[in-house]
Each structure stands twice: as C-alpha cells, then as structure tokens.
Amino acid sequence: MNKKTEKRFSRMNSFLIVFAVTMLMLLLCSCGKKQEPEAPVGMPNPIHECTEEELGKATGISLAAPAGASDAKYCYIGSDNTVISQVTFTLDGKKYCYRAQPTSCLSIEASVDENASAKDLASALSDCTNVGAALAGMYYKWECISLIDIAERDAVVAFNEGKEGFVSWLDVAPGILYSLSVEKGASQTLLTDSAEACFVPLQGEAG
C-alpha cells in the first residue's frame, strides 16, 4: 500500500470515527428526552378519572348515565372552583358527553341573577362565546336554536339536524350550569329527552 493510499485510508477512518461518535451522541440525547403527553384541546388540566361515587365526593355534583346506557366513564377536569364534572356514555348507538360546572367561575350574568333565563345564554350563541357552548366544547354555526326547559329549568338547545348538537341548562339555586352533547343524530326531541333522563336536581324539582 503506497503512502497516498494510506493517507486516504487514514482520512476515511477518521471520518467514520467522527460520524460514529456523532450518531452515538444524537442517540443518547434522543433517549434522554422525556415525551410529555399532550394536553386535551380546549379543556383545562388535570383530568382525574374516577368512579361515579368518587365524582360526587370530589366535586359535590353528582352526574350519572341514564338507564340503559353503556360504556359510562367518569372524570373531573381542572381543580378548585374551575372544576368540570363529566360522564361520557353510549345510548342507542350514540355517544354522549354530560358535563356540569359551578357558575361561580363563569363570567355570565345568568349564572348569578336569580331572574336570569335561557335568553341570556342564547344571545351569545351566534359568535360562540356562550358558556353553554363552551362547556359542551361545541363551536359550530347552528341551523337550529330554541329556548326550552329541562325539568322546569331554563335551557337552550342548539343543533344541526342529524349531526352534532347540545342542550345546556341553568340550575340557579345551587348555581350549576349543565350541558349534554352528542356528535351525531341530534334533534330537539333527542337532546331534550336525553337531558331529562340524565338530570337529577340537587335541590329537588323547581317550584
């Protein structure tokens, strides 16, 4: 092997050594990085999975899936006075999300005024700033919006026929805002009947 070849061979070995060391360093760096789970979009953290009984104890708000529902999952989201209680379930092939939140942390007049009605909630639906839509996590241009009542509580229902929709109602005495949403098959009858089946007033029926 002549000197020229030896020189070239030596240079190649040096290059391979540097390349190998560089790759090893990159591998070690990537192994050292801890992958953080992504936070759910549009929802406060942390999320605490729990049982139905644990949900009531932790939040003071009892939510339950209606009779005949399956795959019920309970959790509460956030902490302190921003906590949201939630149960998701499947009923007649449709997936529902049922939520409740104390009105003490909501910046809406209807949450603190005993004379407030669903009209206050409906007035902001057009630009999706309504807390009912926010609690349901649904921001759509709605084809249908109606003022109704759920167990004699003022409510607003918004939906796109046969697609997504939600119903939100205000229980003024204990100060709780509720929402029930569905991703498909929505209609006023479906949402109203489902909400009536889910809702158990904390202080009894409205007088």
* Cα–Cα distance measured from residue 106 to residue 1, given in angstroms and rounded to the nearest whole number: 83
Asked if residue 154 lies in contact with residue 137, where contact means CB atoms within 8 angstroms, the answer is: no
Please give the single-letter amino acid code of residue 192. Answer: T
Q: Tell me the pLDDT band of 129, cut-offs 50, 70 and 90.
A: low
> In what helix (H) or strand (E) does residue 27 lie, and over which residues does it extend?
helix 3-32
Q: How far apart are CA 47 and CA 45, in angstroms?
A: 5
In whole angstroms, what is the distance from residue 95 CA to residue 150 CA?
20
Mean pLDDT of 46-57: 92
Residues forming a β-bridge with 207: none
Query: SS3 string of 101-117?
Result: EEHHHCCCHHHCCCCCC
pTM: 0.72
Which is more confident, 126 or 65? 65
> Residue 206: which residues within 8 A CB-CB, separation 6 or more?
151, 152, 153
What's the rounded Cα separation, in Å, for the pair 119 and 141?
A: 18
What is the per-residue pLDDT for 201?
87
pLDDT cut 90: percent of the chain above it: 42
Q: Which two tokens stand for residue 34?
A: 């801890």
Backbone angles phi, psi at 119, to 5 degrees: -60, -35
Residue with more model confidence, 120 or 2:
120
Q: Which of 138, 136, 140, 38 is nearest to 86 (CA)?
A: 136
